[in-house]
Structure 1
C-alpha cells in the first residue's frame, strides 16, 4: 500500500519515482532538492547552483527571490554549475518537465529558462530559450525539454533580460520530473 507524505508517494518506507492510477501517471518524483522552502533549490546530484545578483530566500513560504543590485551583465539563477562533463543525473536524450510559479518585479521584462549543453570540453552551446511569464503576480509555468542525445554536460537557469538595477524575480513550487508533468510535490530528500 502506497501513501502520500508531504506531497511525496511512499511505499514500504521508501519514496517511489512514479505512481499510476488507471494507467494515468498521478505522481512523478521531483528531481530538485531543497524544495521545502528552507534553502534555494538545486539539482539532486549537484553541489549547488549559482546566481548573478543578490539572493534572498524566504524560509516561511518557500519563495526564492533573486535581486539584481547592479543592472549590469547577466541576471540569473542557475540550478547547477556549468561543467562540461557533468549531466547532474540527467540522461542524454531524456525528456523532462520543469514547472513552478514565477513572478517579476517588472512585468515588461523577458524571463527565460536558459539551458546549455556541452558535447566536449570546448564549452557550451545555447539551446533555444523558453520564455517564461513575466508578471507582477505569481504565474505557473511548464517547460518540456530534451537533453541532446550527444550531451556530456548540461545545466539550466532562470534568466531575466532587459533588467534594471533593483529588479527582482521570485519563484516557488519548482519541480523537475521525467515523463509527463504531475502536480507539485516535494523532493523525497526534503521530507
Structure 2
C-alpha cells in the first residue's frame, strides 16, 4: 500500500515516481531536495548548488533568498547543481521535465528566467531556449517545460535575474522538478526517507 506523506507518495519504503488516476497524472516525484526546510535546494542526486559570485543565500522555512552584494561579475543566479560537461545529475537524455514553483524579487523592474544549458562534449555548454518573465515583489507561480537533448552528456539549470542592482534579491519556494506534466507541489521523497 502507498502512503502519502506531505503530498509525497511512498510505497513499501520506496519513492513512487508517478501516480495516475483515470489515465491522468495526479502526482509526479519531485527530483529536487531540500525544498521545505533550512537547507538550500539541489538536485536530489547531489548536495551541491552554485550561486553567482558576490551573492549570498539562505533558506528559512522553505523560502530560499539569494542576495546580490554588488554588480561586479555580470551574472546573478542560483544553480541547482554545478555545471558539468560529464554529469546529467540523474536527468535522462530525451526526457521532458517540468520545473515549477513560486518566485519573487525585491526589484520589480528586473526580469527573471529559468536558464538551462547542456553539453554534448567537453567543449562547453549551449543554451536551451530561455523562459523570461517580469519580476514581481509578490510571489508568483511559474511553470516551465524543457527537454534534455538526446545527445547531452552534461546538463544544469538555474534561476537567473537580469538588469539587477547591488542589494537586489530574489526568493523562491515550493519548487518542483518532475518528469512530464506539472502536478501539485510535493516534497522530495529523499527529504522524508533519509
Instruction: Assess same fold via TM > 0.5.
Output: yes
The number of residue pairs the alignment matches comes to 190
In the other structure, the counterpart of 1:51 is 51
Distance 1:47 1:173 in 2: 18
In the other structure, the counterpart of 1:148 is 149
Distance 2:2 2:41 in 1: 26
The TM-score normalised by the length of structure 1 is 0.95
In the other structure, the counterpart of 2:188 is 187
In the other structure, the counterpart of 2:81 is 80
Say which is worse superposed, 41-50 or 95-104, in terms of deviation.
Answer: 41-50
In the other structure, the counterpart of 1:67 is 67
Q: Which runs of 4+ in 1 moved over 4 A?
A: none
Q: CA deviation at 1:23?
A: 1.4
- Contact residue 112 and residue 160 of structure 1 kept, 8 A: yes
Q: CA deviation at 1:133?
A: 4.4
Q: CA deviation at 1:45?
A: 1.3
Distance 1:94 1:133 in 2: 28
Distance 1:46 1:58 in 2: 17
Q: CA deviation at 1:149?
A: 1.1
- Contact residue 55 and residue 76 of structure 2 kept, 8 A: no
Q: Which runs of 5+ in 1 are unaligned?
A: none
Distance 1:24 1:93 in 2: 22
Superposed CA RMSD in Å reads 1.2
The TM-score normalised by the length of structure 2 is 0.94
Q: Which runs of 5+ in 2 are unaligned?
A: none
Distance 1:15 1:93 in 2: 23
User: What does residue range 3-152 of structure 1 map to in structure 2 within 5 Å?
Assistant: 3-52=3-52, 53-59=54-60, 61-72=61-72, 73-152=74-153
Distance 2:168 2:6 in 1: 33
Q: CA deviation at 1:13?
A: 2.8
Say which is worse superposed, 39-48 or 94-103, in terms of deviation.
Answer: 39-48
- Contact residue 132 and residue 141 of structure 1 kept, 8 A: no
Distance 1:58 1:11, change over 3 A: same
Distance 2:183 2:109 in 1: 29
Distance 2:58 2:47 in 1: 18
Distance 2:36 2:134 in 1: 23
